[in-house]
Structure 1
Amino acid sequence: MSLNLALNNALSGLQVNQSALTVISNNIANVNTPEYSRKVLQQQTRTLANIGAGVEVSGINRQVNEFLQRDLIANTTVLGYANVTTEYLNRTQTLFGSVGDNNALGNSLTALATAFEDVAVSPEISAHQFTAVNQAISVAQRFNQMQENIEDMRLQADIEINNAVTIINQQLEIIAEINSKMPQALSLEQPTGDLEDARDAALKKVADYMDVQHFVNTDGEMTVLTGGGSQIVSGPNASVLEHSQSTLITATQSYPTNLSGVHLNAGGVLTPANDITSQILSGRLNALFEMRDVTLPSLTAQIDQLAASTRDQLNRAHNRGANTPFGQGTGAADPAAMLGTRAFTNTAQALTLGSDVTMVILDADGNAVGAPGTISAGATTPDAIRNDIDTFLGGLGSAQWTADNQMEIKLAPGHRLAFLDNGPATEAGDAQIDFDADGDATPDTFFGLSNFFGLNNLYETPQLAGGVTAMELQGDQTGISRTIRVRSDLVDSPEFLSRGRISGTSPDLVLGNGNNEVAQEIADIFGENFVFASIANGPPGLTTSLSGYAGTILSYNSAITSAAESDAEYQTFLHQDITTRVLSESGVNVDEELSNMVIFQNAYQASARIVQTANEMFDTLLSLGN
């Protein structure tokens, strides 16, 4: 072996070992750097004309297990979904309060029952009337606040969706930019490990929000697709995701009618054709869409059903009572003493009244004024009933239709109008009314004449978006928990709260101040069971009390929250386990690096020794020549 070849071999060793020490020092420096993977210098024998000519660097590679990396990315998506789901479901639990919480919805309903019990015991005491009305207001406000909080949560989810889209777009740009650098780096045989680390970190951030598929081609470029197969990164080109953020979300707004999904390369024109929301199958984005469009609307439907049942059952009993407001005049500008909430598209539509209904005009002392009147049972129409009432009132009042075809009854000052149904005892005396209210050509059944027209309601539920007031089988019931309220004149004058019904024998009918029949019937409602329909993505149908259904809503949502928490805990454990396995493969072990450093230092020193020896031999040869 010539001295030149020996010297060249030694120099190549110096260079390779120096490069290896540089890689090791970089590994140690980045031991605590997130997403950094250990780099390993690969070396190979260099030959010239089949003769060993030292060593050379064949590459600096990442030490990464690709299969574990894919598992980690997939689990990151699942964990992102689980975390968002748990976060939002935990927030829903605060809407109901705990079982022992005085602010819990079920406890508020129980307090309302207690207030009416007090009214039934002493119907003449105004303080009890005031308390009952205030407690009814409190229940309504509880419904209102719950629905308002749900709307706020849906809006927050929509805001987070928009933020997520922004983050995803940023990370896709990073992946595309790194893709643009990879072919040149590979062609120049430059290290690409750090670029690949940065790209993997960006991909993992995307995977946190949405499920992705990816592969790397021979040029080192990564292609990324959504879980549903739409391409979002190809080479140096990144697609753009778009979402139109809402400023206000109500119960009646839904996707895709009013709320935006995620659109791909829409150029600001969001259409169903570029909507890829259905292709996002997991991750934070999927959970946010599920909360905004499925889980929280289901909760709204549950609360709306409870609000509607509370309204309908209490209104039915309250309409039996005779404590309606006093008339203030029969002129055109005078207010209505009784204003119905049911609106009729056709006041001449067929209606069947199952029992006679007695009408009585009362003075300020609760005594009948004149002889009672009768609305006869049988086939009739809403307008015919209005005409019967108007004819009976004579000079003491009038019954007319408003512009919305709601019955409006005006009375002379100091007078009241009371209705006494003569229906079966099994229905608390309420007359049965058969009327096709929803236009399906099949008569619907209602009970109580005053209740059917909504003349003496306790609760009202205006629709969220204009139109007629929602009531039993009328109007859009969606979101009524946001609008339920106690009738305004009852709020102003609690003495108009229904407590008793007309008693006596015709024509000597009277409303006694101590009559508590209706107040007791209202209190008894809270101990009765009613049918509650099943709710999509909510509890199944069941028969229970008002407070019982409030408890069902709470227990159902507590159950799904607990299941979500368990899943999040499991996914967190799994994520930690996979991360540990990934780090064991690709993480930097300082002890191992220091051990390798000693090896390469010794190799470097050995190469240096050969250089020194070769140098001494050259000096000896030169001295011999002299």
Structure 2
Amino acid sequence: MDLGSSLSIATSGLNAIEYELSVTSQNVSNSGTTGYVSATANVSSAVAAGQGTGIKIDATTLNISPTLQKALYSQNAQVASLTTTSNSLAAVSALQGSTSADSGSTDTLSDLLGNVQSALTSLTSEPTDSTSQSTVIADAQSLTSTINTLSSTYTTQRQTAEDSVVSTVSSINSDLTTIGSLSKQIMTLKAAGADTSALENQRLGIMSDLSSDVSVTFSETSSGDMVVRTADGTELPTRPDQIGQSDTGVTLPSTTWPLSTSDSTVTADSYYAAGDSNSSIAGITLNGQDITSHLTGGTLGANITLRDTTYPQMQAQLDSFSSTLMTRFSNAGLSLFTNGSSTAQGTSTTEETPNGIVGLSAALSVNSTYVDTPSLLTTDSSGSTGSITAITDVLGTAFGTSSADVSGSLAAPSDNLGPTGNLSTGYSGSQGLVALATALTSNQASTISNASDNLTSATAVQTTLQTSVSNVSGVNVDDEMSKVVALQNAYTANAKVVTAVQSMFTALLDAIN
């Protein structure tokens, strides 16, 4: 082996060390970057014609466990979903009060209804007392006001969820098409044998963001492309060419492709149903096909569920209770509660008030006749004052719990609820008014509590997974600094070889001259 070969080998060593040092430097500088995957500089011995020719720089690899990474993405989606749900339901929780016996709460529906019952009971003892009469009206108004507020909150939170669906679709589009753009660059570089680790790391970071918006999985092709799918396997294209279309039709990245949806104004009778031309809430489409049901998990999946399932059921429960409150009081001879209009209240469980009970809870009010003249509460049909017949009937039957008082037309609607008739209360309608109010609050409180409890558990699992992923993919600064010292020593040694060879060349040239 001649001096030229020795110099070439030493020089290749310096080049390799510079490469390894640059990778190490990149790791250290990104040690605090969320989602960054540490890289490993790979070198191997170069051999030509059976002789060593120095060091060959190989492709940089990322320290990643696909299995752990996919598990973390899945958990990210679950935590984001539960966080969105829990935060949204907090608005309802603040209004619901507590059904716990030791909570001291006086704000639940059953508490407020109990106040009306107590005021009516007191009125039977002093039927002509104006203060007692006014107390009944005031307590009834407190009850209807709380019902109105709850209904308004459901609608407001549904609208917030709908608005979030639209904005999240734009965010998902941006992430998908950014992944597609990066993949295109990666494939080009891979084909040329160039290093793609930095771009791959950037792509993984975008994928991590995407996993919080919707539940997704990914796979990589041999060419370096990334294929993204929903939890049920529906492919979400990152570039038009992935679905056989021309890339020239879309400028990447894009917030409007590949998914499409539109803004909707949500009311009590609004609903989403795939393929239903009467659906007032727009679905999410991909290449003209509605894929809303395939988009689960993450912020998007949570808001779809809140908008289409959680709040519609709560609304249906409250509408059912409002209808039953009106019906049982009227049946007892005291039409204390009305739908706020001059039109008689219909009983359809799928039509909007006043034809049906959908949205009734937002319109429920205390009959203005009694509000204007509270003494009519104890005035009989002949005009005689001080009558407690109607009050006694209300206390005995409207608040009754016997089969005759809670069954048949007096039972609270519990099935075939909502504008599409696909909702149910989740509890029996053959209960007394107070029991119905408690069942409603308990059912909704359980939904709220489950979201909070599940979030705590899911976050703990996420933390464990993050630790496991970090152990494989994270940057250990101490290890990286140890590499720096070793590379520094190797660089010094290789530099000395180069210096020695140069000295020998100089001596040779001097001897010749």
What is the TM-score normalised by the length of structure 2?
Answer: 0.86
Is contact 1:179–1:221 with CA below 8 Å preserved after alignment?
yes
Cα distance change on mapping 1:293 and 1:98 into 2, 3 Å: same
Pairing of 1:113-124 with structure 2 (within 5 A): 113-124=117-128
**Long gaps (5+) in structure 1:** 267-273, 320-456, 503-509
2:356 corresponds to: 476
Secondary structure at 1:477's aligned position in 2?
Answer: strand
Residue type matched to 2:365 in 1? R
Is contact 2:16–2:57 with CA below 8 Å preserved after alignment?
yes
Question: Which of 213, 221, 241 is matched with 2:259 structurally?
Answer: 241
1:430 corresponds to: none
Per-residue CA distance 1:476-515 (angstroms, 9 max, x = gap):
1111111111222322222222x2546xxxxxxx654332
1:96 and 2:113 matched: no
Secondary structure at 1:595's aligned position in 2?
Answer: helix
1:496 and 2:368 matched: no
2:18 corresponds to: 18
**Cα drift, residue 79 of structure 1:** 2.0
Secondary structure at 1:544's aligned position in 2?
Answer: coil
Cα distance change on mapping 1:460 and 1:527 into 2, 3 Å: closer
Per-residue CA distance 1:523-549 (angstroms, 9 max, x = gap):
344652234454546432154332222
Is contact 1:462–1:470 with CA below 8 Å preserved after alignment?
no
Q: Write the distance in 1 (CA, Å) between the matches of 2:151 and 2:182.
A: 47
**Cα drift, residue 37 of structure 1:** 1.3
Count, aligned residues = 470
Q: Write the distance in 2 (CA, Å) between the matches of 1:50 and 1:163.
A: 62
Cα distance change on mapping 1:544 and 1:537 into 2, 3 Å: closer
1:332 corresponds to: none
Is contact 2:175–2:206 with CA below 8 Å preserved after alignment?
yes
**Cα drift, residue 170 of structure 1:** 1.0
1:58 and 2:58 matched: yes
More strand by share: 1
Per-residue CA distance 1:257-296 (angstroms, 9 max, x = gap):
1111211234xxxxxxx21101113222222111111111
Residue type matched to 2:484 in 1? M
Is contact 1:224–1:233 with CA below 8 Å preserved after alignment?
yes
1:579 and 2:463 matched: no
Secondary structure at 2:60's aligned position in 1?
Answer: strand
Cα distance change on mapping 1:538 and 1:314 into 2, 3 Å: closer
More helix by share: 2
Secondary structure at 1:35's aligned position in 2?
Answer: coil
Is contact 1:82–1:568 with CA below 8 Å preserved after alignment?
yes
Is contact 2:73–2:217 with CA below 8 Å preserved after alignment?
no
Secondary structure at 1:6's aligned position in 2?
Answer: helix
1:254 and 2:271 matched: yes
Pairing of 1:20-169 with structure 2 (within 5 A): 20-99=20-99, 100-169=104-173
Secondary structure at 2:361's aligned position in 1?
Answer: helix
Q: Write the distance in 2 (CA, Å) between the matches of 1:235 and 1:103.
A: 53
Q: Write the distance in 2 (CA, Å) between the matches of 1:285 and 1:538.
A: 25
Secondary structure at 2:391's aligned position in 1?
Answer: helix
Q: Write the distance in 1 (CA, Å) between the matches of 2:267 and 2:384.
A: 45
1:276 and 2:291 matched: yes
Is contact 1:79–1:571 with CA below 8 Å preserved after alignment?
yes
Residue type matched to 1:558 in 2? A
2:336 corresponds to: 458
Is contact 1:37–1:588 with CA below 8 Å preserved after alignment?
yes
Q: Write the distance in 1 (CA, Å) between the matches of 2:383 and 2:340.
A: 31
**Cα drift, residue 566 of structure 1:** 2.2
**Cα drift, residue 136 of structure 1:** 1.9
**Cα drift, residue 17 of structure 1:** 0.8
**Cα drift, residue 297 of structure 1:** 1.0
Per-residue CA distance 1:409-467 (angstroms, 9 max, x = gap):
xxxxxxxxxxxxxxxxxxxxxxxxxxxxxxxxxxxxxxxxxxxxxxxx3221258xxx9
Per-residue CA distance 1:302-352 (angstroms, 9 max, x = gap):
111211111111112235xxxxxxxxxxxxxxxxxxxxxxxxxxxxxxxxx
Residue type matched to 1:557 in 2? Q
1:556 and 2:434 matched: no
1:338 corresponds to: none
Question: Which of 177, 183, 191 is matched with 2:181 structurally?
Answer: 177
Q: Write the distance in 1 (CA, Å) between the matches of 2:400 and 2:363.
A: 25
1:300 and 2:315 matched: yes
Residue type matched to 2:363 in 1? T
Per-residue CA distance 1:129-164 (angstroms, 9 max, x = gap):
222223222222221111111111111110111111
Q: Write the distance in 2 (CA, Å) between the matches of 1:173 and 1:486.
A: 55
Secondary structure at 2:54's aligned position in 1?
Answer: strand
Q: Alignment RMSD, CA only?
A: 2.2
Q: Write the distance in 1 (CA, Å) between the matches of 2:10 and 2:331.
A: 102
**Cα drift, residue 75 of structure 1:** 1.7
Is contact 2:177–2:238 with CA below 8 Å preserved after alignment?
no
2:509 corresponds to: 622
Is contact 2:169–2:259 with CA below 8 Å preserved after alignment?
yes
1:8 and 2:8 matched: yes
**Long gaps (5+) in structure 2:** 242-251, 274-278, 349-353, 416-422
1:227 and 2:242 matched: no
1:204 corresponds to: 208
Residue type matched to 2:394 in 1? I
Cα distance change on mapping 1:526 and 1:487 into 2, 3 Å: closer
Is contact 2:106–2:112 with CA below 8 Å preserved after alignment?
yes
Q: Write the distance in 1 (CA, Å) between the matches of 2:340 and 2:129.
A: 31
Secondary structure at 1:213's aligned position in 2?
Answer: strand
**Cα drift, residue 55 of structure 1:** 0.6
Is contact 1:526–1:547 with CA below 8 Å preserved after alignment?
no
Identity of aligned residues (%): 25
Residue type matched to 2:113 in 1? L
Per-residue CA distance 1:171-229 (angstroms, 9 max, x = gap):
11211110221122113333212211221122222222222232211221112233344
Secondary structure at 1:528's aligned position in 2?
Answer: coil
What is the TM-score normalised by the length of structure 1?
Answer: 0.71
2:494 corresponds to: 607
1:523 and 2:395 matched: yes
